[in-house]
Homo-oligomer: A and B are copies of this chain.
């Protein structure tokens, strides 16, 4: 993979993506919404959705220690202590709603209605004013989350911030900080202050650190205080495994891979150790009140998700989903926004059932799935085993996809792995946007295909999800600069080119003033008749160009 991006003095990647520049477009009330403008060699341009924040501005001068501008701080006004869901239900168009409407190319009223119904969420903690608002819901562009985080085994704070910047550069719509090691608070603080995208966490991880890794020692009070600490810092959404009930734990005993969710297994361990119902479930109302105060969005975790093909769609998984449905309705009564997390490992024939059940049980709350992996037999390629499942589940209605990197099941992702994971999931998300008929999704495909057909090589690179690698791959076979404008490629070589034939067909049509398919057919039939009348043996070249 090509990595030619410059880093600034803090070791953070800055500057525009190759062939693009950041532009800002104003909403009706003057909010500045970022887009990435891809400039084409034929004088045209294409503006695409941009998640990268100020890091890709022309004059980006980011200092990781001072953090990003607190843009949304001025937006709040009298909206304290009310959630986007609350305002949307009251019919109010918040600045966040106006912003995401402009970003998605839809009306603000449509956005408000989707948020009000609970079909979409805008994860935007009032304590994270650095973030650029975005929306997650099945009637919007499919979003991608990238996980980062240090672990007990390795990695540093600077590395984690750079991973966040790197992931959003390539299109991550949200980032989850899954740190489990030392300095969790400090790491998260630096990520939040520097993040233009919503940040999600799994608070039980930090709570477990506070009790030195012993699940049985966890208490509601320790957990609650951890959640408040993270709300105050500005975390935008939190995974809460409140659906892992005591009575569901035995359902996992005969699974091939038991419980594979870290949070789920922590809660299962607690329930078993105490023979009591999960404190996340019994205190769920209190939790709602805390999240409501900051407008933090629930991401109700699937602690009993299947960890193998054998365990997909089993009783444990769907029992938990029923409880998540129950909790969704409680959260909504508290005016708290809710997403639902989904599997995991699921064979292709069982993927769609997950979406249908989730929608039915959870009132169409945005579904947020990990993959799913469609086979277990390809460690080192699980970005692909899961990218397949991700595209299919997103086509069926999943609103956000949690990426999987090539290192899944094997080790911690490095810089290249993070990029590969994000790009793979942007592909899955975009394939779903196309399949769902999102009105503007195909513009980029068409622009790239036209560039391909017209041999505008540079435009093919800049329109692609990863211009650096596309260019590098082309350079491997045909490195010379003239090859970037050559009317052939390495597949057929200079002597013959399939693309050129169609250009000749078109030239023929234009030459003869034929503008419709029917006219071209008729024109050619006439030509063929002339040919037959002439004896049928003479070679009449269509054009004089060499083939």
Contact between chains at A505 and B250 (CB < 8 Å):
yes
Nearest B residue (CB) for A524: B250
Chain B contacts of A112 at CB under 8 A? none
Q: Which of B208, B215, B391, B525 is close to A388, meaning CB atoms less than 8 Å apart?
A: B391
Please tell me if A253 contacts chain B, counting CB pairs below 8 Å: yes
- A55 CB, nearest partner CB in chain B, Å: 22
Chain B contacts of A272 at CB under 8 A? 504-505, 508, 524, 542
Contact between chains at B528 and A276 (CB < 8 Å):
yes
Chain B contacts of A445 at CB under 8 A? 308-310, 375-377
> Which residues of A (365-380) have their CB < 8 Å from a CB of B?
374-380
- A45 CB, nearest partner CB in chain B, Å: 16
Q: What CA separation (Å) do A249 and B449 show in the bound complex?
A: 20
Chain B contacts of A247 at CB under 8 A? 521, 524-525
At the interface with chain B, which of A28-36, A87-95, A184-192, A427-435? A427-435
> Which residues of A (114-130) have their CB < 8 Å from a CB of B?
none
At the interface with chain B, which of A97-105, A293-301, A495-503? A495-503
- The answer to whether A540 and B275 touch (CB under 8 A), given A269-B547, A431-B347, A502-B252, is yes
Q: How many residues of A contact B (CB 8 A)?
A: 141
Chain B contacts of A181 at CB under 8 A? 493
Q: What CA separation (Å) do A315 and B345 show in the bound complex?
A: 38
Interface centre among A273, A392, A502 (most CB of B within 10 A): A502
Q: What CA separation (Å) do A461 and B411 show in the bound complex?
A: 13
Contact between chains at A465 and B275 (CB < 8 Å):
no
Please tell me if A40 contacts chain B, counting CB pairs below 8 Å: no
Chain B contacts of A412 at CB under 8 A? 477, 490-491
Encode A343-375 as 1/0 by CB contact (under 8 A) with B: 001011100000000000000000000000011
Interface centre among A347, A377, A430 (most CB of B within 10 A): A377
Chain B contacts of A377 at CB under 8 A? 427, 430, 444-445, 448, 463-465
Interface centre among A276, A406, A412, A437 (most CB of B within 10 A): A412
Encode A512-547 as 1/0 by CB contact (under 8 A) with B: 000001001100110110111000100111100011
Chain B contacts of A477 at CB under 8 A? 153-154, 407, 410-412
> Which residues of A (277-334) have their CB < 8 Å from a CB of B?
307-310, 315
Please tell me if A384 contacts chain B, counting CB pairs below 8 Å: yes
Contact between chains at A466 and B348 (CB < 8 Å):
no
- A368 CB, nearest partner CB in chain B, Å: 19
Chain B contacts of A265 at CB under 8 A? 498-502
Q: What CA separation (Å) do A453 and B257 show in the bound complex?
A: 5
Contact between chains at A378 and B466 (CB < 8 Å):
yes
Contact between chains at B253 and A506 (CB < 8 Å):
yes
Contact between chains at B153 and A501 (CB < 8 Å):
no
User: A347-B435, A384-B384 are known contacts; what are 9 more A-B pairs with Cβ within 8 Å?
Assistant: A154-B477, A180-B493, A256-B446, A256-B450, A257-B450, A268-B505, A347-B431, A385-B427, A406-B473
